[in-house]
């Protein structure tokens, strides 16, 4: 994201997820994918993608009749940014509190716990 001050809405994150999965895409393609989950008007998707382009979140290739939109920053950078904002806003920056909440709310499988333990061991 060009400006880290940009707040992403749920709808913007849905659009980013589609573009990360399928790469550069037309508004029609993105709208069709959104409609697989819930009804969304084409004009709503178009306007939102135009706004995201103006915010510097997306870039647009105008060389063809059908404009193709691309995500400006890669998925990992954006997820890291969003996770840090979430962690700071909801858990006062405490990874410990996040993990306690996360692991306490859902039954974690032995396999998941093993992977988490392995990851923690590698980080030490």
Residue pair 116/122 in contact by the 8 Å Cβ criterion = no
pLDDT in tens, 88-123: 999 999 988 888 888 877 778 889 888 988 988 998
Unique residue bearing structure tokens 């994201």: 1
- What stretches of 1-124 show up as alpha helix (H) in DSSP? 10-22, 27-35, 42-55, 75-91, 95-105, 110-123
Unique residue bearing structure tokens 């306007």: 47
Q: What is the predicted pLDDT for the residue at 94?
A: 92
- Residues 4-33: what's their mean pLDDT? 90
Number of other CB atoms surrounding residue 11 within 10 Å: 14
pTM of the model: 0.74
Q: How many residues comprise the chain? A: 124
Residue pair 41/59 in contact by the 8 Å Cβ criterion = no
Closest CA to 50 of 38, 60, 63: 60
Residue pair 56/6 in contact by the 8 Å Cβ criterion = yes
Phi, psi values for residue 69, rounded to 5°: -105, 145
Tokens coding 31: 């709208």
pLDDT in tens, 42-88: 999 999 999 999 999 999 998 888 889 999 988 898 888 889 988 99
pLDDT band for 3, please (50, 70, 90 cuts): very low
């Amino acid at each position: 994201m060009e400006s880290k001050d940009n707040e992403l809405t749920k709808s913007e994150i849905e659009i980013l997820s589609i573009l990360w999965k399928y790469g550069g895409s037309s508004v029609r393609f993105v709208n069709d994918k959104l409609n697989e989950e819930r009804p969304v008007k084409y004009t709503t998707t178009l306007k939102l993608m135009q706004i995201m382009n103006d915010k510097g979140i997306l870039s647009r290739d105008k060389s063809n009749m059908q404009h193709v939109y691309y995500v400006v920053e890669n998925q990992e950078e954006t997820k890291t940014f969003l996770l840090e904002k979430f962690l700071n806003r909801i858990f006062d920056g405490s990874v410990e509190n996040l993990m306690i909440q996360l692991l306490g709310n859902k039954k974690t499988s032995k396999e998941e716990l093993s992977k988490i333990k392995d990851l923690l061991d590698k980080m030490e």
